[in-house]
Amino acid sequence: MPRVLALAQTNCTVGDIKGNTRQIMALAVRARDVLGAGAVIFPELCLCGYPPEDLLLRPEFLDDVEQALDTICQQIQGIDLVIGYPRRKAGRLYNAAGVIHDGEIIAEYFKTELPNYSVFDEKRYFSPGDQACVVEVAGIPVGLSVCEDIWYTGPARKAAEVGARLILNLNASPYQAGKGREREQVVAQRARETGLPVVYVNLVGGQDELVFDGGSFCMNGQGSMCQRSRFFGEALDVLLLDDHGVPLEAEIAQCPDEESMVYAALVLGVRDYVRKAGFQGVVLGLSGGIDSALTLAIAVDALGAEQVEVVLMPSRYTADMSNEDALEQARRMGVKHSIIPIEPAFQAFLKMLEEEFAGQPMDVTEENIQARCRGIILMAISNKSGRMLLTTGNKSEMSVGYATLYGDMAGGFAPLKDVFKSLVYRLARWRNRNGEVIPERVIIRPPSAELRPEQQDTDSLPPYDILDEILRRYVEEDQGIREIIAAGFDQATVQRITRMVDINEYKRRQAPPGVKVTRRAYGRDRRYPIVNGYH
């Protein structure tokens, strides 16, 4: 008879230990009673959520984790559970994977390789383990490992040397473009090195700027895929093993294309941020431009049209086509919408500042006042309605400071914060593939902030295909100015753009969080000093 493992690809909430415990127990019961599984495997730190950050410094938080483990041990029998949690031991804290069998924890493994790069900061909290752990799970000797361990040869090799027939790897691996393929290649390499199958169980769901994409899978001992769970959704999937722990072929979920993956990450990130934070939907300014149009589509797909409100706030410089296109998209997507012109507020501010500004020409100051008028309106609606305000700026704009503090940057969450402008256009086309929700004119017209007569983005910036490639090299790849120029880019343009990136760190520090989708996102992924004399 084949052995049945259940892979629990769960969406937990950081800090909601009671809620996570209920979810774990419900899935364990379903795996036992409905799927006939002998064991259920959960992701890394699923009991407390990932990343718990400085909650781990609170003794009462760790007390609650221990109480939750006791509850699971008392209430779940007849199925083995492999779960992740923080464990205090001998004055140290470990990132642990434990096996619960018939009411007791029979084995614990402590994560060996602690990531301390990009968005990870585990050495701040955890001590590394140094021992392999092989334990019978559903009658099969398995070696336990946690996330980063599988990226190194040592942990899997040690488990193989002490008798493991299968490696279980518990993960909280966040999404970034191309990461899924990289994970699978690494795990396939570990499987071939050891000759052991590897079961990789990943978290799913949004947590602040991170989105965990799921995509749990199993590689056989030859490094070939034999099972894959869905991406960006919860799953409780069955994996069958023979008596020797060899996995049998199972369903392999499709790996979507890049635009599909990025869009799904943005939708899941918005949905979980809004719902887990307890907001009553969202509100955003809809300008008739591509960024707010895509943000609206993401919001509706994440939350439903009834949870989304848009506000058109035309100024003296707003083109008729902008209002027309914004209204058309609002109607197509079935969202509540209103029109609040900003001219009365703009005139009031100009009158208030008339004496202060006497004799000085109009410049970016007046442009920023318009953006801040809109910010006040949107924040007022957010406060009154309980809806979170979504900002609509993209990564290209945030990189060079083409955004107004306390204006279009005002808000609670920024879905496109890590999406370059060129990708915004690709995602808009992708979203329209099965029916046009974003009006075609929004996509094809030249982009403009519409804060002065006949304004276009190219008045201040190079074309976005050039700008985005310079930014990608400078921000994500850490290439130097000379290296970028040597790649064929104009010297003056490179120097101007990189200077704009450097001097606008102060703005990015005050920006709301947004979904990470690239290798190097702004925020905890890229930490530069605000006052910085290196240029």
Q: Per CATH, the architecture of 3-255 is what?
A: 4-Layer Sandwich (3.60)
Has residue 532 got a pLDDT over 90? Answer: no
Average pLDDT over every residue of 80-107: 96
DSSP 414-429: -TTTT--HHHHHHHHH
pLDDT for position 498 = 96
pLDDT grade for 511, boundaries at 50, 70 and 90:
very high
What is the percent of the chain where pLDDT is above 90? 86
Comparing CA positions, the residue from 356, 373, 354 lying closest to residue 451 is: 373
Is 285 marked as a binding-site residue? yes
Whole-number Å distance between alpha carbons of 101 and 88: 20
pLDDT for position 450 = 65
Average pLDDT over every residue of 328-336: 97
Lowest mean pLDDT among 39-48, 138-147, 424-433, 525-534: 525-534
Contact 321, 445 (CB under 8 A): yes
Look at the block and give the residue holding tokens 């957010």. 382
> How many other C-beta atoms are found inside a 10 Å radius of the C-beta of residue 193?
13
pLDDT for position 244 = 80
How would you label 306-334 residue by residue, b for 16+ Cβ within 10 Å and e otherwise?
A: ebbbbbbbbbebbeeebbebbbbbbebbe
Whole-number Å distance between alpha carbons of 348 and 354: 10
Is 54 marked as a binding-site residue? no
Whole-number Å distance between alpha carbons of 14 and 483: 41
Average pLDDT over every residue of 238-258: 87
Q: Where are the beta strands (DSSP E) in 208-277?
A: 210-213, 217-219, 225-228, 235-241
Average pLDDT over every residue of 57-69: 97
If you average pLDDT over every residue of the chain, what do you get?
94
Has residue 513 got a pLDDT over 90? Answer: yes
Strand-by-strand arrangement of the 92-101 sheet: 104-110, 92-101, 80-89, 39-41, 3-9, 235-241
Whole-number Å distance between alpha carbons of 236 and 34: 11
Alpha helix locations (H) across 258-319?
A: 258-276, 290-303
Has residue 449 got a pLDDT over 80? Answer: no
pLDDT grade for 454, boundaries at 50, 70 and 90:
confident
Is 20 marked as a binding-site residue? no
pLDDT grade for 446, boundaries at 50, 70 and 90:
confident
| Residues 382-408: tens digit of each pLDDT | 999 999 999 999 999 999 999 999 999
Has residue 251 got a pLDDT over 90? Answer: no
Comparing CA positions, the residue from 195, 202, 130, 128 lying closest to residue 166 is: 195
The amino acid that residue 462 corresponds to is P
Task: Judge residue 95's burial from the number of C-beta atoms within 10 Å of its C-beta, 0-12 exposed, 13-18 middle, 19 or more buried.
Answer: buried
| Residues 294-325: tens digit of each pLDDT | 999 999 999 999 999 999 999 998 888 999 99
Has residue 71 got a pLDDT over 80? Answer: yes
| Residues 1-49: tens digit of each pLDDT | 678 999 999 999 999 999 999 999 999 999 999 999 999 999 999 999 9
Is 290 marked as a binding-site residue? yes
How would you label 402-427 residue by residue, b for 16+ Cβ within 10 Å and e otherwise?
A: bbbbebbbbbbbbbbbbbbbbbbbeb
Contact 390, 308 (CB under 8 A): no
Has residue 90 got a pLDDT over 80? Answer: yes
123 is catalytic: no
Spell out the residues 6+ positions from residue 368 whose beta carbon is closer than 8 angstroms to its own.
Answer: 404, 407
| Residues 354-369: tens digit of each pLDDT | 999 999 999 999 999 9
Is 392 marked as a binding-site residue? yes
pLDDT grade for 533, boundaries at 50, 70 and 90:
confident
Is 507 marked as a binding-site residue? yes
Q: Do domains 3-255 and 260-457+504-509 have the same CATH topology?
A: no
The amino acid that residue 514 corresponds to is G
44 is catalytic: yes
Select which of 111, 158, 276, 421 is catalytic. Answer: 111
The amino acid that residue 535 corresponds to is H
Is 239 marked as a binding-site residue? no
Strand-by-strand arrangement of the 166-171 sheet: 134-137, 140-146, 166-171, 198-202, 217-219, 225-228
Q: Per CATH, the architecture of 260-457+504-509 is what?
A: 3-Layer(aba) Sandwich (3.40)
381 in the Ramachandran plot: left (φ > 0), alpha (ψ -120 to 50) or beta?
alpha
Average pLDDT over every residue of 279-293: 95
Average pLDDT over every residue of 77-82: 96
Total length of the chain: 535
Select which of 44, 113, 122, 209 is catalytic. Answer: 44
Is 315 marked as a binding-site residue? no
pLDDT for position 1 = 63
Strands 282-285 and 235-241: unpaired
From first CA to last CA, the distance across the chain in angstroms is 66
Comparing CA positions, the residue from 230, 229, 217 lying closest to residue 191 is: 217
Is 368 marked as a binding-site residue? yes
Spell out the residues 6+ positions from residue 215 whose beta carbon is closer than 8 angstroms to its own.
Answer: 180, 183, 202, 228, 229, 230, 231, 253, 255
| Residues 176-227: tens digit of each pLDDT | 998 889 999 999 999 999 999 999 999 999 999 999 999 999 999 999 999 9
Select which of 48, 147, 226, 373 is catalytic. Answer: 147
Where exactly are the structural domains of the chain? Answer: 3-255, 260-457+504-509, 462-503
Q: Helices 320-333 & 290-303, crossing angle to 10 degrees?
A: 10
